[in-house]
Structure 1
Amino acid sequence: MVSKLDLYKIFWKVGKKESFSKAAKSLYMTQPAVSQAIMQLERELDTRLFNRTPKGVSLTIEGSLLFDYVNSAINLIDTGEKKILEFRNLTAGELAIGVGDTISRHFLLPYLEDFRNKYPNIKFKIVNGTTSNICSILKSGEVDIGICNFPLEDPKLELRPCFDIHDIFVCGEKYKPILSHTLKFEEMMKLPLILLESESNSRSYVENYMISKGVKISPEFELGSHDLLLEFARINLGIACVTREFSEDYLNQGLLYEVQLQEQIPKRSIGVCFLKSVPLSPASTRFVEMLTAST
């Protein structure tokens, strides 16, 4: 008798291949056996999962909904099996990390270099994304750990701060006159502002803090990267909200100037996160230890 898990694996393979015969070949089964398994699953769920055509099969609306869940579940199972097979002494394995470009460049690189020097046989897989993207792929099993902008609230994730950062406003030569005195938030809002896109966790943090002070942000420019914020401010297109720790080269070289505010935005942190329900692999455990060693 075919188990429920086997039925879902067959369903998943047919959904990916869009063909009973191709799925059967991949699973080392006969086509009738695959067809019978799909029919059994459809009977148990009382739902048609595939549209049958002479050219192959396609998922129904209900089938597509089920496929998304099954795909995530099978990815998690595969990830679990890979972790079991890893060597405890870190002589083999892979470390999959979800992280954004800015954090990679300004925070993560030295840790990657150090880890690679100590464990040269561990392969890295770096998946780029926003904080919300990283949380999603963590839950689907595509990455082992995520390195994100905090604060972050998700009951399914273990969150460990690694490095404090500060949000500041910077300007170029054209706006240097505003540096003669400290500015209130209300004064700042009258200037052309340059911020990250609204879905950015960093942008949300600053915006929510401003709202708590009764000030609403209306930026002139909304950009997709921290480096662009710095460059737009450098060529005097406005006042950019940036991370001080990631802007030190521009500030030290006099390419940009920090705007002094009467009230500083509270510090936040960059941190590492991972699923509470899934044990970390040996490589992931060691890397998290390195990231959090100084906190």
Structure 2
Amino acid sequence: MVIKLDLYRIFCVVGKNQSFSGAAKELFMTQPAISQSIMQLEKELDTRLFNRTPKGVTLTNEGSLLLEYANSAINLIEIGEEKIAEFKNLTIGELRIGVGDTISKYFLLPQLEAFRNRYPNLKLKIENGTTDSLISLLKSGGVDIVVCNLPVDDPSLNVTPCMDIHDTFVYGDKYRKLLARPIGFRELAKLPLIFLEPSSNSRKYVEDHFLSKGVKISPEFELGSHDLVVEFARMNMGIACVTREFTKDYLESGALHEVQLTEQIPYRSIGVCSLKSVPLSPASSRFVELIEG
């Protein structure tokens, strides 16, 4: 089919020029090569396409009919090639990202703004959810990449860490006297705790670390968003497990205070997940490069 496509391209140029020599100049080929190509196509189709005359060539009726279709087909192919180039240059296309609300607000928004300013014609589709639900969406083809809390242990995924984050506990003014000194996990677990809901990857990570130390937690409140957790702590409802980097404004303003733990919770990361079995699109690759940089 590739050989035939080349023959059709030559046929269209000859038909346009009504001349083998004119087509040879335009295509940077020799005239015998042009003539041989037309003869090969005529043999393939078992039809004469040109009348040869001393002044050049003219299309037969069959040739005129074929030229109309061949020109349309080649034009469509060229348009398709242009569209592919546009996709590669990110002048058209769509990037579908799965991301949680908190990461979207505190980490991804500046990256999205920079990406949109660089590629204004690219459509962005954002799907929100928990890490588990977004990974399922990625596997079903609903999104191109997922930006989520790590760790994610799945052999079918490429996982690229992008930013280190630290889990910590914060409290309001009501608990300042009680928490004026460093405390351990076991003592902390006896206080009224505020956590994200159990399906949250952040919650699972901290809970698993406490369990590895022999400490089981029983939160007083289990909430659906990091912002709610922070607000409950600010209203002195309890001691909240939060991401330090996403609570910086509250801590710096003095609205909340950080618990001094005798042992720090190991840091983890925010990262990008993609399917190993599916190559990243040009848009996905550029976006991953942006947030890694």
The CA distance in 2 between the partners of 1:203 and 1:187, in whole Å, is: 19
Bigger radius of gyration: 2
1:179 to partner: Cα distance: 3.0
Match of 1:174 in 2: 174
Question: Partners in 1 of 2:261 and 2:84 — Cα distance?
Answer: 52
The alpha carbon displacement at 1:180 in A equals 1.9
Paired residues, what number?
A: 211
1:172 & 1:96 partners in 2: Cα distance?
39
SS in 2 for 1:261: coil
For 1:133, the equivalent position in structure 2 comes to 133
Task: Give the superposition deviation at 1:195.
Answer: 0.3
Could you report, residue by residue, the CA deviation over 1:109-155 in whole angstroms, capped at 9, with x for unpaired residues? 11101111111111100001100011001011110000010011111
Deviations 1:260-286 (A, max 9, x none): 000000000000011110011111000
Give the % identical residues: 68
Is contact 1:178–1:259 with CA below 8 Å preserved after alignment? no
Q: Letter of the aligned partner of 1:166 in structure 2?
A: H
Residue 84 of structure 1 and its aligned partner are, at CA, apart by 6.6
**SS of the counterpart of 1:178?**
coil
Query: Is residue 247 from structure 1 mapped to residue 247 from structure 2 by the alignment?
Result: yes
Pairing 1:266-277 to 2, within 5 Å after superposition: 266-277=266-277
Cα distance in 2 for partners of 1:140, 1:84 equals 24
The 3-state SS of whatever aligns with 1:117 is helix
1:124 corresponding residue in structure 2 = 124
Once the two structures are superposed, the pairs formed by residues 1-295 of structure 1 within 5 Å of their partners are 87-293=87-293
For normalisation by structure 1, the TM-score amounts to 0.70
State the superposition RMSD in angstroms: 1.3
Cα distance, 1:86 vs. partner?
6.0
- Report if the CA contact (8 A) 1:139-1:275 is conserved: yes
Amino acid at match of 1:168: T
Shift of 1:245: 0.1
1:183-230 Cα distance to aligned partner (Å, 9 max, x none): 011110110000001111000000000000010011000000000000
CA deviations 1:67-118 (Å, max 9, x no partner) are: xxxxxxxxxxxxxxxx979621111000000001100000001110111111
Q: Is this contact kept in 2: 1:233–1:240, CA < 8 A?
A: yes
Alpha-carbon separation, structure 2, partners of 1:287 and 1:115: 7
Deviations 1:220-271 (A, max 9, x none): 0000000000000001000000000000111111110000000000000000
Question: In structure 2, the residue corresponding to 1:270 is in which secondary structure?
Answer: strand
AA aligned opposite 1:112: L
Q: Which residue identity lines up with residue 121 of structure 1 in the other structure?
A: N
* Contact kept in structure 2, 1:157 and 1:274, CA below 8 Å: yes
CA separation in 2, counterparts of 1:283 and 1:243? Answer: 29
Give the residue type in structure 2 aligned to 1:215: V
Shift of the 123–257 alpha-carbon distance from structure 1 to 2, 3 Å rule, reads same
Alpha-carbon distance in 2 for matches of 1:198, 1:85: 45
* TM-score relative to the length of structure 2: 0.71
> Structure 2 stretches of 5 or more lacking a match?
1-82
Alpha-carbon separation, structure 2, partners of 1:245 and 1:278 = 32
Q: What SS does the corresponding residue of 2:161 show, helix, strand or coil?
A: strand
| Whole-angstrom distance in 1 between the partners of 2:150 and 2:116 | 26
Q: 1:86 to 1:207 in 2, by over 3 A?
A: farther
